[in-house]
A and B are shown apart, each in its own frame.
Chain A
């Protein structure tokens, strides 16, 4: 099992550009989530999905879109990048149920100039 994979590992964008961060898992997990991690702050939830075709907003969804067409993939789209979106982005997945372990990907470090 590869677990949770994320691409790219690093990305530099100019303000106004759009891009998609990729996330995939091979553990047949129903739940998938996107977080951002900023210095001096805890991880904050952007969007999450409880299954294919179902997504919902987290704590900081503005400026981001998601879709979940398959169980395996959960891409995060930045519509028009802003410097405030400079951050490290983590994708995570877990089985359904409140006590299941959440597995994180290695992260994507995004810089918006």
Chain B
């Protein structure tokens, strides 16, 4: 069964610290992997999209990595800010039609002053 598992479920860090969120997937065939940020009460916003051939992609203080062999991805947040408090969702697109996006349950990150 196609699945996307994220860990941890929730995380609390102090402002200025770094953190890494994990995503493991079993989706096959694989097309691309996306990370979204979802602020409370808002819709998800795309951070990165990576294909099979990309190992790393950055968007400001956010860096996503992908290991397609082990089917693992991580999102690293550098020098966290209070505004980074949000849920981070890993999404894997399988091969095929538009309907084949598999969403993880998300990691809820809280950044404390």
Contacts and interface: CB of A to CB of B under 8 A. Distances in A.
A4 B43 contact: yes
Contact of B103 (A40, A44, A48, A56): A44
A41 B43 contact: no
B42 interface: yes
B32 A99 contact: yes
Among B42, B93, B101, find the residue whose CB has the most chain A CB atoms closer than 10 A: B101
Given A33-B98, A98-B93, A99-B32, A42 B104 contact: yes
B43 A101 contact: no
B52 to A, nearest CB: 11
Contacts, number: 51
Interface size class of A (residues with CB under 8 A): 20 to 34
A107 B42 contact: yes
Which applies to chain B's interface (DSSP): helix, strand, loop or mixed?
strand
Nearest to B6: A42
A98 B99 CA distance: 10
A74 interface: no
**Which of B4, B43, B89, B99 is packed against the most chain A CB atoms within 10 Å?**
B43
Contact of A90 (B31, B34, B43): B43
Interface string B78-112: 00000000000100010001110111111000000
B33 to A, nearest CB: 11
Across chains A and B, which 8 residue pairs bring their CB atoms closest together, nearest first?
A104-B43, A42-B103, A43-B103, A101-B46, A42-B105, A104-B44, A98-B31, A90-B43
22 contacts: A41-B105, A42-B4, A42-B104, A42-B105, A43-B44, A43-B89, A44-B103, A48-B98, A50-B97, A56-B99, A58-B99, A98-B31, A99-B32, A99-B49, A101-B49, A102-B34, A102-B46, A103-B46, A104-B43, A104-B44, A105-B43, A107-B43
